[in-house]
């Protein structure tokens, strides 16, 4: 079973629109970490955020914000006023404390921001 599900395969938005990328995870551990990574066309993986399972506060970093809800096992990522430079593939990932720090990645959401 997929531990991290990113149901949106591809999304296109027009520049300056807001966009939310969905991430649903599955775990039986009480201690775990959630992540978002960005992979621009150049191919490298860029760390965006880490959240532990005990911290449900939403976080905002500039135009980026994250909504963590344990009740729905979701960790969604919103980009406000999108820009062309936001075009990339975004991955959500889960790390469980009890499995030797294995990471499980979703299949990614490809975001295209149209100028």
Lookup: tokens for 21: 């990328």
Give the C-alpha separation, 47 to 59, whole Å: 15
Instruction: State which residue, 12 or 83, has the beta carbon closest to another protein.
Output: 12
Lookup: tokens for 56: 């449900």
Give the x/- contact pattern for another protein in 61-100, rule: CB under 8 A: ------------------------------x-x-x----x
Q: Name 75's bridge partners.
A: 68
Site for another protein (CB under 8 A): which residue of 30, 58, 102, 112?
A: 102
Site for another protein in 20-49 (CB under 8 A): 33, 35, 43-45, 47
108 binds another protein (CB under 8 A): yes
Secondary structure of residue 6 in the 3-state scheme: coil
Secondary structure of residue 36 in the 3-state scheme: strand
For residues 50 and 115, is the Cβ–Cβ distance under 8 A? no
* Binding footprint of another protein on the chain (CB under 8 A): 4, 6, 9, 33, 35, 43-45, 47, 50, 52, 91, 93, 95, 100-108
């Amino acid at each position: 079973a997929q531990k991290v599900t990113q149901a949106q395969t591809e999304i296109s938005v027009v520049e300056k629109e807001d966009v939310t990328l969905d991430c649903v995870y599955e775990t039986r551990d009480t201690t775990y970490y959630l992540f978002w990574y960005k992979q621009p066309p150049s191919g490298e993986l860029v760390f965006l955020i880490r959240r532990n399972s005990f911290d449900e506060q939403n976080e905002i970093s500039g135009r980026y914000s994250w909504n963590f809800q344990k009740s729905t096992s979701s960790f969604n990522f919103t980009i406000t006023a999108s820009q062309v430079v936001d075009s990339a593939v975004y991955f959500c990932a889960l790390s469980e404390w009890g499995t030797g720090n294995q990471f499980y990645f979703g299949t990614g959401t490809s975001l295209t921001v149209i100028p």
